[in-house]
Structures are given as structure tokens and as C-alpha cells.
Amino acid sequence: MAVEVGTEKLGERQPRRRVSRPSLTAPGLLGLPIAWLAVFFLVPIGIVAAYSVDVLSFGSETHGFTLAAWHDFVHSGIYLRLFWKSVKMSLIVSVVIVVLAYPLAYYLALSGTKRKYVLLLLLIAPFLTSYLLRVLAWTVLLGDEGPINSFLSWTGLRPHDHPLTLIDTRFAVMLVLGYIWLPFVALPIFVSLESLDRRLLEAATDLGASRFTAFRRVTLPLSLPGVMAAFLFVFIPTIGEFVTPSLVGGTSGYMYGNQIVDLFQTGFPDWETGSVLAIFLLAVVVLLTLVFSRFLQPRQVSAS
Amino acid sequence: MSGDGDRIERRISRQELLKIAAAAGGAGLLAGRVSGAAAAIEAMTAESGRLQVLDWVGYGYDGGQAMFAAYNKRYPKNKAQIHVMTNEANALNQFNGGLKVDLFRPYIGWVKYFAQSGLVQPWDPKLIPNLKHLNPYMVKAGQYQGKQYGIPDDWGFDEILYRTDKVKPKANSYSLLFDERYKGKIAWFDDIEMPEIAGLLHGYKDTWNQTDAQLKKSKDFLISKKHLVRKIWSSETDMQQLFAGGDIWISYAWPADYAAMKAKGLPVAYMRPREKPIAWVGNFMLMKDTPRPHLAHAYVDAWSSAKSGKWLEDNYFYGHANVLAKPSSTALAKSLQIGNPRALGPANANLDRDIPRRAEYEKAWQEVKAS
Amino acid sequence: MDVALSRYGAWALRAFFVLVVVFLYAPIVILLVFSFNNANIPAFPLSGFTFHWYHQFLTNSDLKSSLKTSAIVAALSSTGAVLLGILSAIALVRHRFRGTGPVAALLLSPLVIPYVVFGLALLLLFHTAGIPRSIFTVVIGHIVITLPYTILVLMPRLQQIDVSLEEAAYDLGASRLRTFRSVTLPLLLPAVVSAYLIAFTTSFDEYAVASFTVGTQPTFPIYLYSAIRFPSNLPQVIAVAVVVISVSLVVVIAAEVGRRVAERRLGAVES
């Protein structure tokens, strides 16, 4: 689409390069988005904080600022232990799928395959379909008399009345979460591997390094930002997960996010304690993000 | 028998009830009913929109439609729209979240709580003709400060459902829910009834009012047994699915779940624990600012009819408060004590009741779940 | 020789890639198989072919109205998010001002918040302010969470568009709005469409925040969640799942292909 540039008429004053621009400057443009976020993002978080210290409460009586709920939270330790359990589960999932995703990204970026973007799309596409439906697929697969177990007993690999307990376990939660996030995690690693300058590898091998050494000392370190980004992209959301655990976790797969939902939706309402748990989770997540943001390059983020 | 003078123990036979009703002034009753009905009809034409009902799984269009079919037929423009609650705490959360309904069904242990909460208003007995057929003891239990806050309809027990081909209980006791032999095959209910059951097992005098020390003991007991539990269910279909699939063999369950599993052809038994089962009575409660109070009364009346009662008894194996509702099978009635008017008395069951220290119980239960 | 991969290494990685792709698509294929299976419970051995479940869900009015609700919510929230995203992108890319960093951080911060926390925060906001929950409260939440995605899609594209094209328009006396409409927007269009689609699909599929903000009309994920939890209609739900996943796969692939084609055609603007 061409833009026509007129020619100057002879005798007319030369137009100045920089015309003064009317109206909208940055603050004007940003006014609306920032106002929206202020009202519907920052204020609600503030309200949660207020509930956690009983400045606001859902009954009609508030008792005024008190750190009692926070004190209980730290003191009793039960919710902290649950938090730690969720962190461990998220850690395992994140590490495993980053390790699995790396070879995938490596193959796409460095093997010289002609259709790398098509294959990348093929890999990513499931991530862009429905989350709940993919969890549903696993609830169907993992039951004691579901397809996997009935297949095992049909082929005689396992006795019929001793099926593998797959669903309602911590394992099921981690498996499904890994399945959900694996496609997405390959992306940042792919981006950083793709931007790798092959000449560095050529130089390394010219200097006598084996492929593996070149990988270890050139490729791996340079792709580390992508790996870090990938890890964080899955680790941070997974700590607060509650949907998957509620569908496949049973009793042992109960996570911190489920506890929060219980205090607000399924169990007897205790908004003060629930708010404490929520603020704690938010604080940890924000801290992790700030600490590791030095490893994140905008490229990884915008590529997804 | 009736020696101790306790009203609960007094036998109320059907004949006695009808005699009382007749003696109470049939004419007056009739007159009141007619004028009440006329006023109701006038008021109802002013109420519009579908009746919003918050009820439990199985009581809506997912199986229980026969219970209110008469209402839907009579008011097709105001057909019931059913929202689901998994227990009373969940209902409370939904209200707090802004859900607006016209009526809902908490159970007997919560009548006092909700009556005091400001969320509900009392019913007008004149607008519920079937009320007079309901078991008076249950009707009385639904009252608070002399007003009829709850209309009882369904009742039953909390007992233990188990697979007879997989499970050999050591005794007929709630302890089966905590049996180490069946690790990974047990399901509990997501409610503070679990600490109540723990209290019964420990033999506490009043498991609804445990002291701090007793509650801690119940909580620790539950935590120590949690590793045996496959699922803490909040919705019956969840639990039924797991049972039918063979994922669990033992569960806290209600008679309807027993009926459902039997219908599927599973070898199951519904065990009455020697600690005397916890018993419940469902109580419809009317929301305070409902725009459809008369329709709500009509709905409850439909639910309270003998026809609905009979359906409930035959299909869900629950008792129904309407004394005229007789189940089709006497064997069934006997085994589930449906025809026994003293079924909910202290000699037979632990009728659920208000818990003065509810917040502590809820906190303890949350800690069990988090552990 | 190839410096990155030996022949054996390339073969091994290719095999691994195939394995992973099979793993990713297998559950979906299994859903497909069972959606035609003539039985109430999805288990082997199979029991015969039927279209019954597809027919059943098409007549399920609760399901259909939840789809409609989700579509409305997604359309409204994507529009809002794209509009706010365009404003933000222009401000961040075309204007130099102090505080670009913090402003960008604020605008992107919803990416970081766990949805359970954000959902309950909105619940508390609406409860405290006395606002009843409805389709609009869901839209509000979805605009917040999809805004960062739209910004991240629009910004790179805007950076690619040569500023001198816009400046030429100003030189010719065009107002800012006119410039945007005639110069910037057409070039930005592939990214706008892309942003809209991403926001739409995110909102359509979103359960966590919606579960806290939804009113009496369930969105499709809300309906789906209770269908999964209370699976009396499991085969029907499986049929729905197959249809929705297939449609979204097609849409995603078509959108991506379309975007690349469009951008290549407009490609001359790379600066």
C-alpha cells in the first residue's frame, strides 16, 4: 500500500520537517488503559489485602486492623506446608517439561529442517485449544476402568481387579499439568536457540571441540535465558493452580490454590484467612518474577 | 416407649394425626385455606420470571424433576430454574458471591444458623396446604422462635456404602471409613460432618459441641487417617462415578447413592453403624428479598405432596416428611426404616443439629484438608 | 559436517519430536474415538459406532446457551482489550517519555498474577461495591487478563511500521486520527486481527477468573467444568470436546497462516 508524497510547489516556503502535533500525547493515550487497570486490577488487590487484615470483612462487623490472621497463618504452619507441597509439585513439573522441551526446540531451531515454523505450529497448536477439554481427556483416560486400565486388562498386562490407580493422585496432577504446558514451554527455548549464531559453533569445532563440547560450552549457556524464561512461564502459574487438581487430584493432589478456593467458594466462608493465603501467594509470585526478570528478554515474551 | 414423656418418643399414628386435624376446626381450616388461596392466586399473577431454586444434586432436572413436576405443570411460565449447591457452606458462599435465588434447601443442623443470618424469612403456613400432612416433629424442628423457617421434606441417614464383594467390615461401625486395610479405596464427604463422625467414634457425649480438646483430637484423628482417602467428595455424582467405576469401595453416602449403585447392579450394602447414624432432615428456606414468595410456597407445596413423597421413597430411598407417602415396597421401607416415625429419635439415630461453635469446626476441617 | 547435530543425533531428535507430538495429540484422538463409541462409559473394548452423542449435545439447550454466553463475553472483552491495547502500544512505541519501563510493567503485570488470586480479588471488589455479578463482570476481568497479550502482539508490529510513513502524513497536514486511520491501522491490521483472535480464544476458554465473576448465566467453560465434575452426560461432553478442539485447531492454524501471509504481503515496510 503506497503512500503518495506530494511534490513541493515552487516558490512556496519549505515545510518544516517536524510539524507540531496537536492533542494526544502519551498520557492522553495511556489514560484509559491505566485507569482500567487501576480500578479493576490494583484496587481489587488492595481490597484483598484489606480483608486479610480485617479492615474489610464480609460480615457486617469489622474489628479494625489486626494481623491475627497473618499470625495464625505463620504460626500454625498448616497452610505453609500446603504451599510448600504445591511449590514442590510445580517445581517437578516445570523442570521435567523444560528438560523435555529443550530437545524439541533444539531440533526445530538447529537441525536445519525446512518446515520448522510449520512443525512449531504443530507443537504449539494444542496449547491454544481448550484447557478444560484437554484435562477432560485425561479424566477419561486415567480412570480405574478407563481406556488405559481397560486396555491393560484386555491385553492381559494387568489383572482385571488390580488396576493402576492413576487418577486422584499427585501423579495425575503433575502429569496433566505437564501435558498442558509442554507445548508452550518449547517456544522461548526455540526463540533463543534460533537466534544462536551458527558461526560460533563452527568456530568451536574448528578449534577442535566435539559437537557435544560445542553444545555444552556454546549453545547451552547462550540458550539459558530462553530456558529460564520457559521455566518461569510454567512454574509461576502452576503454583497457584486449582482447576486441574480439583478434577484429577483427589485428596492427595490437593493444592494451595484449592485451599484458597475452598475458603471463598466451596467451604464455609472464611474470607480473612483466604485473603491471607491469596496475598501470600501473590507476594511470592511477584518476588520470583522480580528476582528472575533479569534473565527474561522481551523477545522471549513477545514471541509467544 | 413413651414412658419418659419425651415428645419425640410419642407415637403419632396416621389416624391420630387426622383426628387432630379434624378436631382443630375443619371449618376454620377450610375458610383460612380458601381466603389464603385467593390472596395467593392474586399475588402470584404479579410474580414473574422463572422460580430460582438452589438445591442439591439430584433434586433438579438431573433426576428429581418428578418432585416438582406438579409445580412446573401449574406454572409453566415460572418453571423452576435449579442452581446446584454441594453443601450449606457452598450455598453461603454463593449468596456472598451475589447469587440471587428464591428458596434453597439447607439441612436441619443449619436452620438456626440461617434463621439468625438475616438471609431468610419465615414461611406462611397458610399457603402450604400439604404442611398439615407433614410429620409434626419434623415440622417443629424447622421452627425458630415460633416461626416456620424451614419446611421439612426429605429425610434420611448418613451411613456407609460399601462393596460387599471387596470389603469385609470388622464391625458395623463408622470405623470402616478409617480402615487401614482399604487404603486408597475410601471416600469421605467434604463437610464438617466428618469431625462429627470422628466425635461419635470417640464416644463424645455431644459431638455437635465438642470442646477445644475434643475437636483437636477429632481433627488429628482425621489427619492421621487422611492417607487412606481417595477422594473427599462434594457432589454425589462424583462419588457415584468413582463407586461405579470401582475406584472406591467404601464411602460416606446417602440412601439415594445406595439406590443408584444397586440400580447399576453393583454388589453393595448400606451399613448402619452401631454408633447410631447421623440423621438429617432437609428444610426448604425462603430467601428474604425474593420477588416470588408465593411461587416459592407453591413449589414447596408440590414437593411436600404425598405423590412426591412416594416417588422420593421409591427412587432415592429417602424418607419423606409427608406421613401419607408410603413406599411401594415394604421390604425397602423396613430396611431403611422409612415407615418408622421414630426413625429419627435418639434411640435410633443422631439427628443432626445446630453447632454453636461452627467456625471452629470449619477451621478444623479446613486444616484436615490442607494437611 | 553439521556443527549442531550429527546424523544420528538428528535422527534421534526427530524420533523424539514425533513421539512428543503423538503424546500431545493422542488424548485428543482418543476423545475422538470415544465420541463415536456406543457406550455410556469410555472404556475398552469399543462397543460400536454411533452419532448419537453428537446429536444429543446439539439439542442440549443449556449447552448451547453457555456457548452463546461465552461468545458474547469473548467478543466484548476482546474488543475492549484490543482498543486499550492499541492505545497502549502507540503510547509505548511512538512516544518517548520517562517511565516507559514502569508503565509497560504495569500494563503487562496481569500476566504474572495467579488467576485464583485475581478472580477472588474481583469477587471481593464486586461484593464490596455491591455490583451484582453478570456477563459484564466477566468481561471486565477478561479485559484485564487479555490486555497484556494484545499489547505484546501489537507492539512488535507497530515497531516494524516505519515511523516516517506516519510523519509523511503529518507533513501533508493529516490529523493524528486521520493518520492512524489511513496509514497506521491498515498496516497494523494483521496484528490487530491476531490480537483480537488471541484475546477471543483466551476469553472463550477461560475458567478460573470466570468462576469467581460469573452471574446466573454460565459461560461455556463453567458449564464444561460442572459437566466434568458431575459427569452424567459424559459421552455428550466428549462429543462437544471433540468439536470445540477441532474448531479451535483449525482457527488457530488458519489465523497464524493468514497472519504470516498478510504480513509478507505488507512486508515492504520493514525498517
Give pLDDT tens digits for A283-292.
Answer: 999 999 888 8
CB contact under 8 A, C43 and A150: yes
Size of interface A-C (CB pairs under 8 A): 280
Predicted pLDDT at C154: 93
Return the residue matching grid coordinates 526427530. Answer: C14
Q: Angle of helix C7-35 relative to helix A116-124, nearest 10 degrees?
A: 40
Distance CA A212, CA C5 (A): 9
Predicted pLDDT at A24: 55
The shortest CB-CB distance from B370 to any of A82, A266, A270 is to A82
Q: Residue B230 has which C-alpha cell?
A: 481417595
Q: Residue B316 has which C-alpha cell?
A: 432415592
Q: Which position has the higher pLDDT, A289 or A44?
A: A44
What are the chain A neighbours of B84 within 8 Å (beta carbons)? Answer: none
Size of interface A-B (CB pairs under 8 A): 81
Q: Residue B217 has which C-alpha cell?
A: 483430637
Ranges of chain B whose pLDDT falls below 70: 1-45, 339
CB contact under 8 A, C133 and B57: no
Q: Which residues contact B185 (CB under 8 A, 6 or more apart)?
A: B166, B230, B247, B248, B249, B250
Scanning C20-49 for CB atoms below 8 A from B yields 41
CB contact under 8 A, A269 and B359: no
CA atoms lying within 13 Å on the CB side of residue B297: 24
For residue C128, the distance in angstroms to the closest alpha carbon of chain B comes to 10
Give residue-wise pLDDT tens across range A246-292: 999 888 899 999 999 988 887 788 899 999 999 999 999 999 988 88
The shortest CB-CB distance from A236 to any of C112, C165, C260 is to C112
How many percent of chain C have pLDDT more than 90? Answer: 34
Scanning A242-261 for CB atoms below 8 A from B yields 250-252, 254, 259
The shortest CB-CB distance from C17 to any of A30, A107, A246 is to A107
Q: Which position has the higher pLDDT, B47 or A43?
A: A43
Backbone angles phi, psi at C208, to 5 degrees: -60, -55
Q: Are C165 and C146 in contact (CB under 8 A)?
A: no
Backbone angles phi, psi at B271, to 5 degrees: -95, 130
Q: Are C14 and A107 in contact (CB under 8 A)?
A: yes
CB contact under 8 A, B369 and A259: yes
Q: Which of B251, B215, B223 is nearest to A254 (CA)?
A: B223
In this prediction the ipTM stands at 0.86
Which of A160-164, A190-194, A210-214, B210-214 has the largest mean confidence? B210-214
Distance CA A277, CA A54 (A): 14
Task: Give yes or no for C126 touching B (CB within 8 A).
Answer: yes
Q: Residue A243 has which C-alpha cell?
A: 482447576
The shortest CB-CB distance from A251 to any of B192, B226, B245 is to B226
Q: Which of C86, B370, C91, B75 is nearest to A256 (CA)?
A: B370
Distance CA C189, CA A122 (A): 25
What value does the mean pLDDT of chain A take? 82
Query: A60: pLDDT confidence band, cut at 50, 70 and 90?
Result: low
Predicted pLDDT at B31: 43
Q: Which residues contact B298 (CB under 8 A, 6 or more apart)?
A: B40, B44, B71, B74, B75, B127
Q: Is the pLDDT of residue C95 over 90?
A: no
What are the chain A neighbours of B94 within 8 Å (beta carbons)? Answer: 265
Scanning C207-226 for CB atoms below 8 A from B yields 212, 215-216, 226
- Residue C19, classified by CB atoms within 10 Å of its CB into exposed (0-12), middle (13-18) or buried (19+), is exposed
Compute the C-alpha angle B186/B188/B193, nearest 5°: 150
What is the average per-residue pLDDT within C149-175? 86
Distance CA C196, CA B12 (A): 69
Q: Which residues contact B145 (CB under 8 A, 6 or more apart)?
A: B115
What is the average per-residue pLDDT within C80-84? 96
β-bridge partners, A113:
none
Q: Residue B41 has which C-alpha cell?
A: 392466586
Give residue-wise pLDDT tens across range C181-230: 888 888 888 889 989 988 998 999 899 999 999 887 899 999 888 877 76
CB contact under 8 A, A41 and C118: yes
CB contact under 8 A, A45 and C121: yes
Task: Give yes or no for B92 touching C (CB within 8 A).
Answer: no
Q: Which residue of B has its CA nearest to A255?
A: B370
Beta-strand runs (E) in C30-141: none
- Alpha carbon distances (Å) from B41 to A132, B37, B74, B127, B249: 46, 6, 12, 10, 51
Predicted pLDDT at A99: 94
CB contact under 8 A, C183 and A36: no
β-bridge partners, B154:
B320
Task: Give yes or no for C189 touching A (CB within 8 A).
Answer: no
Task: Give yes or no for B265 touching C (CB within 8 A).
Answer: no
* Antiparallel, parallel or unpaired: β B120-121 and B103-104: unpaired
CB contact under 8 A, C87 and A33: yes
* Antiparallel, parallel or unpaired: β B103-104 and B80-85: unpaired
Distance CA B173, CA B159 (A): 9
Return the residue matching grid coordinates 476423545. Answer: C31
Q: Which residue of B has its CA nearest to C230?
A: B237
The four Cα atoms A174, A175, A178, A182 give a dihedral, to 10 degrees, of 170
Looking at chain B, list the stretches that DSSP marks H as alpha helix, in order from N- to C-terminal side.
14-23, 26-46, 69-74, 88-96, 111-117, 136-141, 193-201, 212-225, 236-244, 255-263, 293-303, 306-316, 330-336, 358-370
Return the residue matching grid coordinates 439415630. Answer: B349
- Residue A154, classified by CB atoms within 10 Å of its CB into exposed (0-12), middle (13-18) or buried (19+), is middle
Q: How many H helices and E strands in chain B?
A: 14, 14
Predicted pLDDT at C232: 64
Q: Are B327 and B318 in contact (CB under 8 A)?
A: no
For residue B53, the distance in angstroms to the closest alpha carbon of chain C comes to 12
For residue C215, the distance in angstroms to the closest alpha carbon of chain B comes to 7
Q: Are A130 and C245 in contact (CB under 8 A)?
A: yes
3-state secondary structure chain A: CCCCCCCCCCCCCCCCCCCCCCCCCHHHHHHHHHHHHHHHHHHHHHHHHHHHCCCCCCCCCCCCCCCHHHHHHHHHCHHHHHHHHHHHHHHHHHHHHHHHHHHHHHHHHHCCCCCHHHHHHHHHHHHHCCHHHHHHHHHHHHCCCCHHHHHHHHCCCCCCCCCCCCCCCHHHHHHHHHHHHHHHHHHHHHHHHHCCCHHHHHHHHHCCCCHHHHHHHHHHHHHHHHHHHHHHHHHHHHHCCCHHHHHHCCCCCCCHHHHHHHHHHHCCCCHHHHHHHHHHHHHHHHHHHHHHHHHCCHHHHHHC
Q: What is the DSSP letter of C46?
A: P
CB contact under 8 A, C21 and A122: yes
Confidence (pTM)? 0.82
Q: Is the pLDDT of residue A16 over 70?
A: no
Which of C14, C16, C17 is the best mutation test for A, with the most CBs of A within 10 A?
Answer: C17
CA B163, B168, B174, B179 dihedral sign is negative
Q: Which residue of C has its CA nearest to B239?
A: C230
Q: Which position has the higher pLDDT, A184 or A209?
A: A184
